[in-house]
Amino acid sequence: MKAALHPGRLLARRYRLLDQIGAGGMSVIWRARDEVLDRAVALKVLAPSLAADARFRGMVRDEARAAAQLVHPHLTSVHDYGETVDPDGSITSFVVMELLSGEELKLRLTEGPLPWTEAVQVGAQVADALAAAHRLGIVHRDITPANVMMTGTGVKVLDFGIATRIGAPDEDEDGETFGTPAYVAPERLDGAPAQPSTDVYSLGVLLYEALTGRVPYPADTWEQLSAALATGPPPTLADLPDLPPAVAQTCLRSLARNPADRPTARQVATALRDHSLPAEPSTATVRVPTPPLPPQSPAVATEAPAAPDGGTSFAVSEPTSESGWSRRRLALALGLVLAVGLTLAGVALLPDQQPTRRAQPSAGPVETPSTDPPTPEPSAPSAPTATPSTTPTTGAPTSNPGTLTEAANRVDGLISAGLSAGEIRDDVALDLRNELRNLTVAVGSGREDLAPPVARLREKVTVRLGEGGISPAYASRLDAAIAELGATRV
């Protein structure tokens, strides 16, 4: 007689079942403990009624192989696949996955649609996960709210149980269509081969439902879906006046009947990401000193050696001729004279005569108007002095972003400030600095245009935000500063 699954049973001499936490048409999900690595895991065990069928065991094994290739913050990690032979010769097959803590999007939507900003963030993260799968040639084929988990670090896409390779037949051996009818792309009803565009359609349905609380074509069976597609009106988002037009267009394009008219998952992620970062708090200001440029001499941007902490520094070099050294000596002497003059003038003022300084705005680089008394003019000819900038770096684009080196220094300074404030994790700061260094080297050497690496760096900020490695406020500032970097002179 087949051994029953029950709490306390040990599978593969390693995984101790604790309690059942879910069930589907083909499998049962158990919370378990990996007694070798001493950690909690989730076991997806093939349902006993199907365990005797080698075809279904093969599907579970193929799911594990497909999902194990996918390493992404918005995809559930697969740790292991195993089979246990029971005393009667029957086989129990299971997939070992990370144990998630959160709420299914399906359950969340029973309360009604999400705020559009949250719906867009969910859509962007699911699109990111699908883009990663599509790059490896895998089509999920079952993107629904039941297969999206809302966790503390962002969404997780679950269940690659009916995933397949791009171009594979999109039906089972009996000619039946896999999936949940209301989320299935129209071309799948005709048996078209599996393509990434079918996942994009399902993503469009999911985003539409998250925004409106309803699917565009309600259906519980394939016949109902065919009838809804034939007679139902085209979906619209006109009843959401606050929704940005770009978001509405992206969602409706994903629902296009013709697969060729749909965007890719990567394009959906990029389009939605611009609207998924939270707004910057109006009272938050971070002041980051900007390294001064040398006076007068023509500057040449160079990459400095890596900093001891693993970060990247950016320097501006100038000719080392005798005239260059003379100008620097003159600038230093003049700076000393001005500093002494300011000090003497400050002492001459009584406390009740100190001028009142107006508060600087919290966003945007500005020049602070000075109300200090005029300083004595030096007798020597005046030369411009380089003074460290205290312009607040809040991520707001400047009207003149300057050179690539200047903008890169601003981004690097913002990373340093976030690291010091505990708003950016150490590993995330190192990752962003490495990406920034690669950008400056590739663009500075002419190997790559500026736009692609800037897009990659912005994408990395969004991914790290979803992982919880960057606070929302700093992610917003970094995104704006990187966008500003993309407008610099190369």
User: Annotated catalytic sites, by residue?
Assistant: 142
CA-derived radius of gyration, the chain = 29
What does the alpha-carbon distance between residue 131 and residue 267 come to, in Å, rounded to a whole number? 9
- Run of H or E residues at 301: strand 300-303
Query: Collapsing DSSP states into helix, strand and coil, what is residue 428?
Result: helix
- φ/ψ region of 382 (left if φ > 0, alpha if ψ in -120 to 50, else beta) reads beta
| Full DSSP string of 306-369 | PPTTS---EEEE----HHHHHHHHHHHHHHHHHHHHHHHHHHHS-GGGPPPPPPPPSSS--PPP
Q: Phi-psi region for residue 112, left (φ > 0), alpha (ψ -120 to 50) or beta?
A: left
* β-pair type (78-85, 39-46): unpaired
Cα angle value 17/20/22 (rounded, 5°): 135
Alpha-carbon distance of 315 to 103, in angstroms, equals 48
Contact 410, 365 (CB under 8 A): no
Q: In 153-268, which ranges are E strands?
A: 154-157, 164-165
Nearest 5°: phi and psi at 338? -65, -40
Q: How far apart are alpha carbons 245 and 240 in whole angstroms? A: 10
- The answer to whether 148 and 67 have CB atoms below 8 angstroms apart is no
Q: C-alpha angle with apex 419: 413 to 425, nearest 5 degrees?
A: 135
> DSSP 3-state assignment of 270?
helix
Beta carbons within 8 Å of 313's beta carbon, 6+ residues apart: 304, 305, 306, 307, 412
CA distance 164 to 169: 9
Of the candidates 145, 129, 268, the one whose C-alpha atom is nearest the C-alpha of residue 215 is 145
Q: How far is CA 266 from the centre of its chain?
A: 12
Taking the C-alpha atoms of 244, 250, 251 and 252 in order, what is their torsion angle to the nearest 10 degrees?
110
Nearest to residue 196, comparing CAs of 277, 109, 130? Answer: 130
